[in-house]
Amino acid sequence: MHRFEKRAAHCAKTIIDQQDVHVISHIDADGLTSAAIICTALERAGKDYSVEFVKQLDNAIINRIADLNPSVTVFTDLGSGMLDTINSLGINAVISDHHIPSGDCANHLNPHIFNINGAYEISGSGTTFLLARAMGDNYDLADLAVVGAVGDLQHVKQGQLIGVNRQIVGLGKQKGIIHCQRDLMLFGKQTRPVYKMLQYSSDPYLPGLTGNEDACINFLKNSGMHSQGEKWARWIDLDQPNKQRIVSNLIRFCISAGIHTDKIQRLVGEVYTLLKEREGTEVRDASEYSTLLNATARYDQARTGLAVCQGDRETEYENAIHLLAQHRRNLVEGINLVSEMGVTKLDNLQYFDAGSGIRDTIVGIVAGMSMTSIGNRNLPMIAFADTQEGVKVSGRGNYDLVRRGLNLAAAMDESAKSVGGIGGGHDIAAGATIPGNARSEFIRMLDGIIGTQLQ
């Protein structure tokens, strides 16, 4: 950790010594929180900056940055896989990323260089938080780093954030901006009626409850919970005895349904409440906050998400809420489309080709949800979606597969390069962009590589 922080201090000095700063970040929740952290730190340091968001870093974008020639370019939540190109063009860059790197340079801040796993010990926003902390008194941005880590599902493997993430949570607790406790892990504790939490549960999938509103309502009634007229309580409205009774009954339900023990254990874990935010809103809970952010940049509204991260709770926040409603509808439509078309199973993976039916920026989320609700959890799920730049490929696994040897980042990278594309990411989740006519060759290659990994 000492060498990691020393590198952060070196990168911070590079930024502080320049006046014209250009920030490039990814479009997911981790990318948005990363951008918000560095942009806030730059404002506090009195630095002029510009910011842009990209789906994926490629040669065209890097060449454009080289032509713009800002004093320094800060890449957040991306860049580690394109170090050779960045260096070859002479771009004065600081790279704050957590994906598996290809090479290194003096201003490259990445946990993997220091034997820290970027898939679950620290996220892009966590790495950027260390950078911001080295730039000045920015401890209060710890809550955004936690939102980014939760958005990247880094808390799922152990049921809580660990590693450097844990230290960031500790700083947030010291500052009085983060509260963490063991609780039900289902999504929507701040904003959804409890029966809706059960109805929309996908991890774990609750057979007989997931997708069945009436069954969820009956389950709660049998657990001693009743509505007040037409209104059902949210999880945050319940007292502790009611919560404990529902959790106990839910565990018994899962056991009787034959759900595997490790999935039942994931029902309860550590949840993160952001104490600066108003109770009952989407930004009070780290998980709901990250979903709200995903609903902005993935629909070309990154600046709305950035504004929310930087404190807007009026116009842009309302815009984000509107986008969230549309995002949820699109996810439901995506799941329905995959259910209708079906999933093709190969020896070592399963896949679907959404064509233009699912937006490329959310097809990875749909792939993860489909793996649980439609596909086989013992095989990684691969999804194709058409884009103007070619075919977007998204892959999702789970920690059971990772423990068996799955590394989607390595598999995607090798398979994409073999057909003239680019790929990368994490062991549990990764992506690629490939030529439009390369689907068959790519999926054949990917199936073989994953088979080798899982053996």
Range with the lowest mean pLDDT among 4-13, 143-152, 198-207, 293-302? 198-207
455 pLDDT exceeds 90? Answer: no
Residue 182 and residue 279 in contact, taking contact as beta carbons nearer than 8 Å: no
Rounded Cα–Cα distance for residues 190 and 188 (Å): 5
Confidence of residue 231 (pLDDT cuts 50, 70, 90): confident
Interval 394-406 mean pLDDT? 91
Q: H helices of 274-380, where?
A: 286-297, 302-309, 315-341, 363-373
Residue 375 and residue 386 in contact, taking contact as beta carbons nearer than 8 Å: no
Domain parsing of the chain, residue ranges:
2-183, 189-330, 342-450
pLDDT at 268: 93
pTM: 0.89
Which residues contact residue 14 at a Cβ distance below 8 angstroms, ignoring those fewer than 6 apart? 72, 92, 94, 107
Confidence of residue 420 (pLDDT cuts 50, 70, 90): very high
Chain centroid, CA 24 distance in Å: 17
Interval 120-128 mean pLDDT? 97
- Domain 342-450, classified CATH 3.30.1360.120, yes or no: no
Residue 98 corresponds to which amino acid? H
pLDDT at 421: 94
What is the Rg, in whole angstroms, of the alpha carbon atoms belonging to the chain? 22
Interval 67-87 mean pLDDT? 94
| Cα 408 to Cα 72, 370, 387, distances in angstroms | 32, 17, 21
Residue 122 and residue 163 in contact, taking contact as beta carbons nearer than 8 Å: yes
pLDDT at 316: 97
Residue 439 and residue 353 in contact, taking contact as beta carbons nearer than 8 Å: yes
CA-wise closest residue to 424 among 110, 90, 8: 110
Confidence of residue 413 (pLDDT cuts 50, 70, 90): very high
Q: What CATH class is the domain 2-183?
A: alpha beta
Interval 24-50 mean pLDDT? 97
- Cβ neighbours, 10 Å, residue 315: 10
Q: What percent of the chain has pLDDT over 70?
A: 100
CA-wise closest residue to 143 among 246, 59, 37: 37
Confidence of residue 262 (pLDDT cuts 50, 70, 90): confident
Helix (H) or strand (E) holding 424: strand 422-425
SS3 384: strand
260 pLDDT exceeds 80? Answer: no
pLDDT at 191: 95
The predicted-structure confidence for 266-276, as pLDDT tens digits, reads as follows 899 999 999 99
Chain centroid, CA 166 distance in Å: 17
pLDDT at 205: 75
Residue 281 corresponds to which amino acid? T
The predicted-structure confidence for 158-208, as pLDDT tens digits, reads as follows 999 999 999 999 999 999 999 999 999 999 999 999 999 999 887 677 888
pLDDT at 174: 96
388 pLDDT exceeds 90? Answer: no
Tokens representing 16?
């502080």
Which residues contact residue 66 at a Cβ distance below 8 angstroms, ignoring those fewer than 6 apart? 89, 90, 91
Tokens representing 194?
């409890």
* Residue 426 per-residue DSSP state: -
Tokens representing 429?
């989740």
The predicted-structure confidence for 78-96, as pLDDT tens digits, reads as follows 999 999 999 999 999 999 9
Interval 426-440 mean pLDDT? 93
pLDDT at 399: 80
